[in-house]
Chain A
Amino acid sequence: MSMRKPSLTLLASLATALAAVAVALIFFVAPEDADQGLSQKIFYVHVPIALTAYACFGLAAWKAFRLLTTRGERYDLESYTGVHQGTIFGALTLVTGAIWAKASWGVWWTWSSNQLVLFLVLFLFYCAYFMLRYSIEPGPRRERISAVYALFGVALVPVSFLAIRLASDFIHPTVFTRDGPQMTGEMFTAFCVSWAAITLLAYVMYRVELAGKRTDANLRELREVLAP
């Protein structure tokens, strides 16, 4: 573990603290939405989770790019962990989005939320990442193919978003409108704190998982060397 990185315990504590502050802000400080009432509060969780998922996929793509251009060994696990975290947060995005849809409009799913549909497509794409990765023998081949796939994912995000926007014209008329949050100062603060907490949480989870994977890999190598 590099001595320069802030300790995980410190970060985890900070994340917990921030989360507590965020909860307080969300429920006691930020005003209730006139239309949607209490259910609108999910926005403070749903949107940061979505943004964090994007960040994870972006990180994974960056690490993948580094792997392909520099052949550094560490990037494979880092990219993989990024995809893994992104998929987890992506799944959470879909779940919180569904809860929000149910609370706001009475349906568990709607095709009119471009964001949600995009996440569904991405979720499918990144789930396939794992199927692809684990059907290839471990080795440089697997690392490279996983990296290329992760890069394709990042290209897919804007292209898919555009596609979904275009599709909504003729496939499903927009029935439900969601106002872009015209946020008051308090709402904005609550949002930012919540976002910071979730991002930090994601980072801690990323570091923990990465450390775990690295230890696994080292153990396996050690066993191999010591085997008779």
Chain B
Amino acid sequence: MTGYLAAVAALARKDLRVELRGRDTLPAMLLFVLATLVVFHFALPADVGDDPAYGLLWVALVFTSLLGLARAWVPEREAGALDGLVLAPTDRSAIWLGKTIASLAFLAAAEVVALPAFVLFFAPLDANALAGVVLASVGICAVGSLVSAMAAASRGREVLLPLIFLPLAIPIVVGGVGSSISEEPAKFLAFLGLYDAVFAILSWAAFEYVVTE
């Protein structure tokens, strides 16, 4: 068990290191989410109130994650490192978990910028909304890491990732928006927790089959 967690930690550390050394995925995500929020300001009619803005926050978060997820496996593809990881005696699910943790870190960094900007531009965020963001981020990264690996195995990868990710992201958007604007946010937070549990376990178990033959 400690061997497994140690491997996960080593892998997550590796991803953070690689990103900090100039992958420039993170700056792109930060800029993208800000730009998107500004676009949304112009896309919203003046008199719609706060609720639509929350919806758009979630659109911004999902598409910003897509940006990050599209590049998640690039370091592994460059010089065939993924084969190296798959050959190692560690459980292949550790590869997924390490990548998910690292993706979560990057998404969190983007949110640290995006959320204050949202509050500044649009509307306040309460504790429920923030809890929603946290739970949703976990789900996005858990599913996203797996799905991104699938897309990486294909020829049309840039175009493919949004196609296979968005239907899976719909429940996340529902949960997130609900936690922000509904009168019963607890329902939606519980739902997000359920989504995370179901799809994290599924992704954890299925990753092996995506990277091996």
B21 within 8 A of A: no
- Per-residue A-contact encoding for B144-164, CB less than 8 Å = 1, 0 else: 001000110111110010011
User: Which segment of A14-22, A105-113, A139-147, A189-197 sits at the interface?
Assistant: A139-147
Number of interface residues of B (CB under 8 A): 36
Residue contact B178 to A170, C-beta cutoff 8 Å: yes
Residue contact A163 to B181, C-beta cutoff 8 Å: no
Report A18 CB to chain B, min CB distance, Å. 34
Which residues of chain A have C-beta atoms less than 8 A from B178's C-beta?
166-167, 169-170
Q: Which residue of A lies closest to B163 (CB)?
A: A128
Residue contact A144 to B213, C-beta cutoff 8 Å: yes
Q: How far is the CA of A124 from the CA of B164 in the complex (A)?
A: 9
Instruction: Select one of B155, B184, B194 contacting A159, CB under 8 A.
Output: B194
Given the contacts A159-B195, A166-B174, A128 and B167 also touching, CB distance less than 8 Å = yes
Residue contact A170 to B182, C-beta cutoff 8 Å: yes
- Per-residue A-contact encoding for B161-195, CB less than 8 Å = 1, 0 else: 00110111011001101100110100110010011
A136 within 8 A of B: yes
Residue contact B210 to A145, C-beta cutoff 8 Å: yes
Which residues of chain B have C-beta atoms less than 8 A from A164's C-beta?
174
Report A76 CB to chain B, min CB distance, Å. 13
Q: Which residue of A lies closest to B201 (CB)?
A: A155
Residue contact A131 to B163, C-beta cutoff 8 Å: yes
Which residues of chain A have C-beta atoms less than 8 A from B18's C-beta?
none
Given the contacts A121-B167, A140-B213, A156-B168, A148 and B206 also touching, CB distance less than 8 Å = yes
Which residues of chain A have C-beta atoms less than 8 A from B212's C-beta?
144
Which residues of chain B have C-beta atoms less than 8 A from A135's C-beta?
154-157, 160
Q: How far is the CA of A143 from the CA of B174 in the complex (A)?
A: 32
Q: How far is the CA of A200 from the CA of B178 in the complex (A)?
A: 41
Residue contact A152 to B168, C-beta cutoff 8 Å: yes
Residue contact A155 to B198, C-beta cutoff 8 Å: yes
B residues sitting closer than 8 Å to A (CB atoms) are 146, 150-151, 153-157, 160, 163-164, 166-168, 170-171, 174-175, 177-178, 181-182, 184, 187-188, 191, 194-195, 198-199, 202, 206, 209-210, 212-213
